Protein backbone atom coordinates (compact mmCIF):
# COMPACT_ATOMS: atom_id res chain seq x y z
CA UNK A 1 0.00 0.00 0.00
CA UNK A 2 2.07 2.92 1.21
CA UNK A 3 5.28 3.43 3.14
CA UNK A 4 5.17 4.55 6.77
CA UNK A 5 7.02 7.82 7.28
CA UNK A 6 9.09 8.84 10.34
CA UNK A 7 6.15 10.82 11.77
CA UNK A 8 3.93 7.72 11.64
CA UNK A 9 1.83 8.80 8.66
CA UNK A 10 1.39 6.62 5.63
CA UNK A 11 2.63 7.86 2.30
CA UNK A 12 0.34 6.70 -0.47
CA UNK A 13 1.96 5.67 -3.70
CA UNK A 14 -0.57 7.72 -5.68
CA UNK A 15 0.28 10.86 -3.73
CA UNK A 16 3.98 10.31 -4.37
CA UNK A 17 3.34 9.87 -8.09
CA UNK A 18 1.18 13.00 -8.07
CA UNK A 19 3.92 15.04 -6.37
CA UNK A 20 6.51 13.69 -8.79
CA UNK A 21 4.25 14.58 -11.75
CA UNK A 22 3.80 18.11 -10.40
CA UNK A 23 7.55 18.51 -10.04
CA UNK A 24 8.06 17.41 -13.66
CA UNK A 25 5.31 19.77 -14.82
CA UNK A 26 6.77 22.69 -12.86
CA UNK A 27 10.23 22.00 -14.29
CA UNK A 28 8.89 21.91 -17.84
CA UNK A 29 6.97 25.16 -17.31
CA UNK A 30 10.10 26.84 -15.93
CA UNK A 31 12.18 25.59 -18.86
CA UNK A 32 9.72 26.43 -21.67
CA UNK A 33 9.65 30.03 -22.85
CA UNK A 34 6.14 31.48 -23.00
CA UNK A 35 5.13 33.76 -25.83
CA UNK A 36 2.40 35.31 -23.68
CA UNK A 37 1.83 35.75 -19.96
CA UNK A 38 0.39 32.86 -17.99
CA UNK A 39 -2.47 35.11 -16.84
CA UNK A 40 -3.55 35.52 -20.48
CA UNK A 41 -3.53 31.75 -20.93
CA UNK A 42 -5.60 31.22 -17.79
CA UNK A 43 -8.09 33.92 -18.78
CA UNK A 44 -8.41 32.45 -22.27
CA UNK A 45 -9.22 29.05 -20.79
CA UNK A 46 -11.96 30.60 -18.66
CA UNK A 47 -13.40 32.69 -21.51
CA UNK A 48 -12.15 31.47 -24.92
CA UNK A 49 -11.96 33.84 -27.85
CA UNK A 50 -12.91 32.91 -31.39
CA UNK A 51 -9.99 32.09 -33.67
CA UNK A 52 -6.52 31.32 -32.49
CA UNK A 53 -4.66 32.81 -29.56
CA UNK A 54 -1.42 34.03 -31.08
CA UNK A 55 -0.47 36.26 -28.18
CA UNK A 56 -1.72 39.24 -26.21
CA UNK A 57 -2.03 41.37 -29.35
CA UNK A 58 -4.80 39.11 -30.65
CA UNK A 59 -7.01 39.62 -27.61
CA UNK A 60 -10.17 41.58 -28.30
CA UNK A 61 -12.69 42.97 -25.85
CA UNK A 62 -16.32 42.05 -26.43
CA UNK A 63 -18.70 44.61 -27.81
CA UNK A 64 -22.13 44.95 -26.21
CA UNK A 65 -24.75 42.65 -27.67
CA UNK A 66 -28.47 42.51 -26.96
CA UNK A 67 -29.15 39.22 -25.22
CA UNK A 68 -26.38 36.72 -24.56
CA UNK A 69 -22.77 37.84 -24.80
CA UNK A 70 -20.85 37.32 -28.00
CA UNK A 71 -17.58 38.30 -29.62
CA UNK A 72 -17.83 40.65 -32.57
CA UNK A 73 -15.34 42.06 -35.02
CA UNK A 74 -14.26 45.45 -33.70
CA UNK A 75 -12.74 46.81 -36.87
CA UNK A 76 -15.13 47.83 -39.62
CA UNK A 77 -14.36 45.94 -42.79
CA UNK A 78 -14.94 48.98 -44.98
CA UNK A 79 -17.67 49.59 -47.50
CA UNK A 80 -19.74 46.58 -48.43
CA UNK A 81 -20.31 45.42 -52.02
CA UNK A 82 -22.00 47.90 -54.39
CA UNK A 83 -25.06 45.63 -54.53
CA UNK A 84 -25.60 46.23 -50.79
CA UNK A 85 -25.25 50.03 -50.84
CA UNK A 86 -28.13 52.40 -50.13
CA UNK A 87 -30.03 50.26 -47.59
CA UNK A 88 -29.27 48.77 -44.18
CA UNK A 89 -28.04 45.19 -44.34
CA UNK A 90 -29.53 42.67 -41.91
CA UNK A 91 -27.13 39.74 -41.49
CA UNK A 92 -28.28 36.49 -39.88
CA UNK A 93 -25.81 33.81 -38.72
CA UNK A 94 -27.88 30.63 -39.10
CA UNK A 95 -27.40 26.91 -38.44
CA UNK A 96 -30.03 24.22 -38.98
CA UNK A 97 -29.06 22.52 -35.70
CA UNK A 98 -29.50 25.75 -33.68
CA UNK A 99 -32.83 25.86 -31.77
CA UNK A 100 -32.66 29.66 -31.37
CA UNK A 101 -32.13 30.05 -35.14
CA UNK A 102 -35.31 28.07 -35.79
CA UNK A 103 -37.16 30.20 -33.22
CA UNK A 104 -36.22 33.54 -34.83
CA UNK A 105 -36.61 32.35 -38.46
CA UNK A 106 -40.35 33.23 -38.71
CA UNK A 107 -39.69 36.72 -37.31
CA UNK A 108 -36.90 37.30 -39.82
CA UNK A 109 -39.02 36.01 -42.73
CA UNK A 110 -41.87 38.33 -41.74
CA UNK A 111 -39.43 41.20 -41.33
CA UNK A 112 -37.91 40.57 -44.77
CA UNK A 113 -41.39 40.78 -46.28
CA UNK A 114 -42.44 43.92 -44.40
CA UNK A 115 -39.08 45.67 -44.95
CA UNK A 116 -38.70 44.70 -48.63
CA UNK A 117 -37.03 47.62 -50.39
CA UNK A 118 -36.08 49.19 -47.06
CA UNK A 119 -33.32 46.75 -46.04
CA UNK A 120 -31.29 43.93 -47.56
CA UNK A 121 -31.41 40.59 -45.76
CA UNK A 122 -28.42 38.24 -45.89
CA UNK A 123 -28.26 34.83 -44.21
CA UNK A 124 -25.01 32.96 -43.70
CA UNK A 125 -25.60 29.24 -43.10
CA UNK A 126 -22.89 27.75 -40.87
CA UNK A 127 -24.63 24.39 -40.31
CA UNK A 128 -21.75 22.25 -41.60
CA UNK A 129 -18.46 22.47 -43.48
CA UNK A 130 -20.07 22.65 -46.93
CA UNK A 131 -22.54 25.41 -46.06
CA UNK A 132 -19.87 27.32 -44.16
CA UNK A 133 -17.59 27.18 -47.21
CA UNK A 134 -20.37 28.54 -49.45
CA UNK A 135 -21.19 31.23 -46.87
CA UNK A 136 -17.54 32.27 -46.67
CA UNK A 137 -17.35 32.70 -50.44
CA UNK A 138 -20.57 34.71 -50.48
CA UNK A 139 -19.46 36.80 -47.48
CA UNK A 140 -16.15 37.68 -49.17
CA UNK A 141 -17.95 38.74 -52.34
CA UNK A 142 -20.29 40.99 -50.32
CA UNK A 143 -17.53 42.57 -48.21
CA UNK A 144 -18.71 40.71 -45.09
CA UNK A 145 -15.88 38.16 -44.89
CA UNK A 146 -14.33 39.59 -41.71
CA UNK A 147 -17.74 39.84 -40.06
CA UNK A 148 -18.55 36.19 -40.80
CA UNK A 149 -15.16 34.96 -39.60
CA UNK A 150 -15.50 36.88 -36.35
CA UNK A 151 -19.07 35.69 -35.72
CA UNK A 152 -19.50 32.32 -37.40
CA UNK A 153 -19.75 30.52 -34.06
CA UNK A 154 -22.43 32.94 -32.83
CA UNK A 155 -25.51 31.25 -34.28
CA UNK A 156 -28.80 33.17 -33.95
CA UNK A 157 -26.84 36.44 -34.09
CA UNK A 158 -28.51 39.08 -36.25
CA UNK A 159 -26.72 42.34 -37.02
CA UNK A 160 -28.04 45.47 -38.69
CA UNK A 161 -25.07 46.87 -40.64
CA UNK A 162 -24.37 50.22 -42.26
CA UNK A 163 -23.21 49.28 -45.79
CA UNK A 164 -21.15 52.45 -46.23
CA UNK A 165 -18.54 51.38 -43.69
CA UNK A 166 -19.46 47.83 -42.61
CA UNK A 167 -20.10 48.74 -38.97
CA UNK A 168 -22.86 47.16 -36.88
CA UNK A 169 -25.59 49.63 -35.97
CA UNK A 170 -27.19 47.13 -33.61
CA UNK A 171 -26.74 43.44 -32.88
CA UNK A 172 -29.32 41.01 -31.57
CA UNK A 173 -29.02 37.50 -30.18
CA UNK A 174 -31.99 35.11 -30.51
CA UNK A 175 -34.45 38.00 -30.48
CA UNK A 176 -38.01 37.61 -31.78
CA UNK A 177 -38.82 41.28 -31.14
CA UNK A 178 -39.75 42.52 -34.64
CA UNK A 179 -40.22 46.07 -33.31
CA UNK A 180 -36.61 46.20 -32.13
CA UNK A 181 -35.38 45.06 -35.55
CA UNK A 182 -37.57 47.67 -37.30
CA UNK A 183 -36.20 50.39 -34.99
CA UNK A 184 -32.59 49.35 -35.71
CA UNK A 185 -33.27 49.30 -39.46
CA UNK A 186 -34.83 52.77 -39.19
CA UNK A 187 -31.81 54.04 -37.25
CA UNK A 188 -29.43 52.62 -39.87
CA UNK A 189 -31.54 54.10 -42.68
CA UNK A 190 -31.37 57.57 -41.10
CA UNK A 191 -27.58 57.22 -40.73
CA UNK A 192 -27.26 56.29 -44.41
CA UNK A 193 -29.29 59.32 -45.53
CA UNK A 194 -26.95 61.78 -43.77
Q: What is the pLDDT of residues 115-147, one digit of tens each?
A: 999 999 999 999 999 999 999 999 999 999 999
Taken in order 94, 100, 103, 108, the sign of the CA dihedral is negative
Residues 6+ apart with CB under 8 A from 94: 101, 105, 123, 124, 125, 126, 127, 155, 156
Is pLDDT larger for residue 41 or for residue 174? 174
Spatial CA neighbour of 160 closest among 90, 95, 109, 104: 90
Residues 6+ apart with CB under 8 A from 37: 56
Contact 92, 158 (CB under 8 A): yes
* pLDDT number for residue 26: 54
Provide the pLDDT confidence category of residue 15 given band limits of 50, 70 and 90.
low
Amino acid sequence: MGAILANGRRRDGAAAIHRKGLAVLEASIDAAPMSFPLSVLLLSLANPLPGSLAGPASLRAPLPVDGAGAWLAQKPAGALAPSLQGRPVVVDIYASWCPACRTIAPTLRSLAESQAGQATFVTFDVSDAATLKASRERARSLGLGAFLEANRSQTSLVAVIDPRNGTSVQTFRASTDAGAYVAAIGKARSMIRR
